[in-house]
Structure 1
Amino acid sequence: MGDPGADDTDGTAPTAAEVMLRSLREYGVEYVFGNFGTDHTPLLEAAARLREEDPDAIPAFVTCPHESGALSAADGYAAVTGRPQAVFVHVDVGTQNLGAMVHNVHRGDVPVLIFAGLAPITHGDEPGARSSGIQYIQDVYDQEGIVEQYCRWTGEYRPPADPDEFVARALELASTPRRGPTYLAATREALETTVDSTPGSRSLTDARPIAADAETVGRVASMVRDATAPLVVTSKLGANRPDQSVDRLRRFAEAAGAGVVEQRPTALNFPRTHALHVGFDPKAAMERADLVVLADADVPWEPPSERPVDADVPIVHLDIDPEKPQYPLWDFETDLAVRADPGATLAAVADRLESEGGEPDREPWQSEHDARLRGRADSLDAQYDDGALTPAVLTDAIDEVVDASTIVLNETTTSKRTVLEHLDLERPGSYRSPYGSGLGWAPGAATGVKLAAPEQTVITLVGDGSYVFGNPTASAWMAAAHDAPSLTVVYNNSRWNAVRTSTLDQHPDGSAAAASVPESRFDPILDLSHAAHVVDAHTSVVESVEDLESALRAGLDAVERGDPAVLDVRVEQA
Structure 2
Amino acid sequence: MDDHGAESTGESESTAADVILRSLREYGVEYVFGNFGTDHTPLLEAAARRREANPDAIPEFVTCPHESGALSAADGYAAVTGRPQAVFVHVDVGTQNLGAMVHNAHRGDAPVFIFAGLAPITHGEEPGARSSGIQYIQDVYDQEAIVEQYCRWTGEYRPPADPDEFVARGLELASTPRRGPSYLTATREALETPVDSTPGSHSLTDAGPVGADAATVDRLASMVREADAPLVVTSKLGANRPEESLDRLRRFAEIAGAGVVEQRPTALNFPRTHDLHVGFDSRAAMAKADLVVLADADVPWEPPSERPVDDNVSIVHLDVDPAKPQYPLWDFETDLAVRADPGTTLAAVADRLESGAGGREPGSDGDEWAPWRDEHDRRLTERSESLAEQYSGGILSPAVLTDAIDDLVDESTVVLNETTTNKRTVLEHLDLERPGSYRSPYGSGLGWAPGAATGVKLAAPDHTVISLVGDGSYVFGNPTASTWTAAAHDAPSLTVVYNNSRWNAVRTSTLDQHSDGSAAAAGVPESRFEPTLDLSHAAHVVDAQTAVVDSIDSLEPALREGLDAVERGDPAVLDVRVEQE
User: TM-score w.r.t. structure 1 length?
Assistant: 0.98
SS of residue in 2 equivalent to 1:374: helix
CA distance in 2, matches of 1:356, 1:170: 44
1:564 equivalent to 2:574? Answer no
Name the counterpart of 2:562: 555
Partner residue of 2:462 out of 455, 458, 476: 455
Question: Is 1:485 matched up with 2:515?
Answer: no
How far 1:386 moved relative to its partner?
Answer: 1.0
Alignment of 1:53-68 (within 5 A): 53-68=53-68
The 8 Å contact of residues 155 and 183 in structure 2, kept in 1 or not, is answered as yes
Of 380-389 and 521-530, more deviation after overlay is shown by 380-389
TM superposition outliers: structure 1 runs of 4+ over 3 Å = 8-11, 357-360
Q: Which residue of 2 aligns with 1:423?
A: 430
What residue is the counterpart of 1:114 in the other structure?
114
CA distance in 1, matches of 2:538, 2:431: 30
Q: 2:25 corresponds to which residue?
A: 25
1:107-143 alpha-carbon deviations (Å, 9 max, x no partner): 0000000000000000001110000000000000000
Aligned length: 567
Is the 2:9–2:53 contact (alpha carbons within 8 Å) kept by the matching residues of 1?
Answer: no
1:153-552 aligned within 5 A: 153-356=153-356, 358-359=359-360, 361-552=368-559
Deviations 1:187-231 (A, max 9, x none): 000000000100000110001131100100000000000000000
Q: Distance in 2 between matches of 1:401 and 1:160?
A: 56
Aligned AA (1:141): Y
Tell me, what secondary structure is at the counterpart of 1:43?
helix
1:291 maps to a residue whose letter is L
SS of 2:272's equivalent in the other structure is: coil
Give per-residue Cα distances to partners, 1:292-340, cap 9 Å, x unaligned.
0000000000111100000110000000000000000000000000000
Secondary structure in 2 aligned to 1:239?
coil
Query: % of aligned pairs identical?
Result: 84
Contact 2:9 2:50 in 1 (8 A): no
**Distance in 2 of aligned mates of 1:355 and 1:30:** 44
Deviations 1:228-281 (A, max 9, x none): 000000000000000000000000000000000000000000000000000000
Deviation string for 1:121-179 (max 9, x for gaps)? Answer: 00001110000000000000000000000000000000000000000000000001110
1:573 partner amino acid: Q
- 1:555 and 1:119 map into 2 onto residues whose CA distance is 45
SS in 2 for 1:237: coil
Instruction: Give the whole-Å Cα distance in 2 for the aligned partners of 1:231 and 1:9.
Output: 60
Structure 2 segments unaligned to the other structure (5+ residues): 1-7, 361-365
Q: Which amino acid in structure 1 is aligned with residue 396 of structure 2?
A: L
| 1:105 matched residue in structure 2 | 105
Amino acid at match of 2:395: A
d(CA) in 2 for partners of 1:480, 1:13: 38
Q: CA deviation at 1:10?
A: 4.5
**Counterpart-to-counterpart distance in 2, 1:245 and 1:120:** 46
Residue in 2 that maps onto 1:34: 34
Task: Supply the AA of the counterpart residue of 1:471.
Answer: N
CA distance in 1, matches of 2:10, 2:375: 73
SS of alignment partner, residue 200 of structure 1 = coil
Tell me how far 1:40 sits from its aligned partner: 0.2
**CA distance 1:10–1:365, change in 2 (3 Å):** closer
Output the CA distance in 2 between the equivalents of 1:566 and 1:510: 38
The alignment partner of 1:325 has SS state of: coil
Q: Which amino acid aligns with 1:150?
A: Y
SS of corresponding position for 1:261: strand
Amino acid at match of 1:306: E
Partner secondary structure for residue 468 of structure 2: strand
CA distance in 1, matches of 2:485, 2:206: 33
Separation of aligned partners in 2, 1:33 and 1:337: 39
SS of the equivalent of 2:222 reads helix
User: What's the counterpart of residue 363 of structure 2?
Assistant: none
State the alpha-carbon separation in 1 of the partners of residues 133 and 117 from structure 2. Answer: 16
In 2, the alpha carbon distance for the partners of 1:214 and 1:126 equals: 61
Corresponding position: 1:86 with 2:91? no
What's the CA shift for 1:9?
A: 5.0
* One-letter amino acid of the structure 1 residue matched with residue 425 of structure 2: T
In 2, Cα distance between the equivalents of 1:13 and 1:475?
38
Q: Residue 140 of structure 1 corresponds to which residue in structure 2?
A: 140
Comparing 379-388 and 250-259, the one that deviates more = 379-388
Q: 1:12 offset after TM fit, Å?
A: 1.9
Alpha-carbon distance between aligned partners in 2 of 1:176 and 1:210, rounded to the nearest angstrom: 12
Per-residue deviation, 1:11: 4.8
SS of 1:208 mapped into structure 2: coil
Letter in 2 for 1:363: A
- Residue-by-residue CA offset, 1:483-507 (whole Å, 9 max, x unaligned): 0000000000000000000000000
**Tell me, what secondary structure is at the counterpart of 1:409?**
strand
TM-score of the aligned structures, taking structure 2 as reference length: 0.97
Q: Over residues 45-75 of structure 1, what are the superposed CA-to-partner deviations in whole Å (9 max), with x where a residue is unaligned?
A: 0000000000100000000000000000000
Q: Who is 1:72 aligned against?
A: 72
Contact 2:9 2:52 in 1 (8 A): no
> SS state of the match for residue 75, structure 2?
helix
C-alpha distance in structure 2 between counterparts of 1:341 and 1:206, whole Å = 14
| Partner secondary structure for residue 567 of structure 1 | strand
The secondary structure found in structure 1 opposite 2:238 is: helix
In 2, Cα distance between equivalents of 1:378 and 1:508: 30
Q: List runs of 5+ in structure 1 lacking aligned partners.
A: 1-7
Query: CA–CA distance in 1 between the matches of 2:537 and 2:13?
Result: 51
1:356: how far off? 1.8
Partner secondary structure for residue 14 of structure 2: coil
Question: Match for residue 50 of structure 1?
Answer: 50
